[in-house]
Chain A
Amino acid sequence: SQKIEQNSEALNIQEGKTATLTCNYTNYSPAYLQWYRQDPGRGPVFLLLIRENEKEKRKERLKVTFDTTLKQSLFHITASQPADSATYLCALDWVVWAGAGSYQLTFGKGTKLSVIP
């Protein structure tokens, strides 16, 4: 069965530094990979989607890489701020029903990031 692991349950980092979160997976070849942010008591919020043929994707201070050979995605937050403190979820993204263009996400357990002022 497919397995998805995020490198650590919790990560503490000093404000202004770059936070790097790791997502590894096995027994699977997703066409896409997504990253979400979840704050306490709220639903996940989409951040970035990267396709299997893309090496890197950026959005403001966020950067995602996708290495299908290593079966790994890295998520970077540069110039981190206390407001970036949250749980970040990695999700494998695969086609369930091509005819309907339906996809399914399989989430990792998340990494709780704390940015210390």
Chain B
Amino acid sequence: DTAVSQTPKYLVTQMGNDKSIKCEQNLGHDTMYWYKQDSKKFLKIMFSYNNKELIINETVPNRFSPKSPDKAHLNLHINSLELGDSAVYFCASSSTGQGDHEQFFGPGTRLTVL
């Protein structure tokens, strides 16, 4: 049983193209996230959605647009791709409340922009 899944696992594309990464979780969590891990392995939050509502929107170019059609899905659309967008993108989910709210991560999508 895959808890958090992402597609595709690898994405190679040319500069200037538009691409999307899909994420789905079957854990019944209310909150979903997108992270970017750069070549130096630094993992940084990009967005967070709670019940389809945007909660966290860190300083990322507006070429990046998250979309949450329902609680179980959070997709990431990237317009006009640039070389610097090359990284591994992770989706994650967690429950809410003061109880244990650890995050469950997907396997990652390695994006290479040529």
Contacts and interface: CB of A to CB of B under 8 A. Distances in A.
A32 to B, nearest CB: 8
Contact of B102 (A46, A97, A106): A46
Interface in A44-87: 44-46, 49, 87
A10 to B, nearest CB: 12
Contact of A110 (B41, B50, B51, B97): B41
Nearest to B42: A109
Which size class do A's interface residues fall under?
A: 20 to 34
A43 B90 contact: yes
A105 interface: yes
B114 interface: no
Interface in B53-108: 53, 55-56, 90, 92, 94, 96-98, 100-108
- Contact size range, B: 20 to 34
Contacts of B107: 42-43
Contacts, number: 65
A12 interface: no
Interface string A77-108: 00000000001010001001100111111110
A96 B101 contact: no
Closest 8 CB pairs of A and B: A43-B105, A101-B96, A46-B102, A101-B97, A107-B43, A100-B50, A102-B50, A102-B55
Interface of B: 4, 30-31, 40-45, 48, 50-51, 53, 55-56, 90, 92, 94, 96-98, 100-108
Given A46-B102, A49-B102, 7 more contacts: A42-B107, A87-B41, A93-B101, A101-B98, A105-B45, A109-B42, A110-B41
8 contacts: A43-B105, A43-B108, A44-B103, A46-B103, A96-B55, A106-B45, A107-B43, A109-B40
Interface of A: 34, 41-46, 49, 87, 89, 93, 96-97, 100-107, 109-110
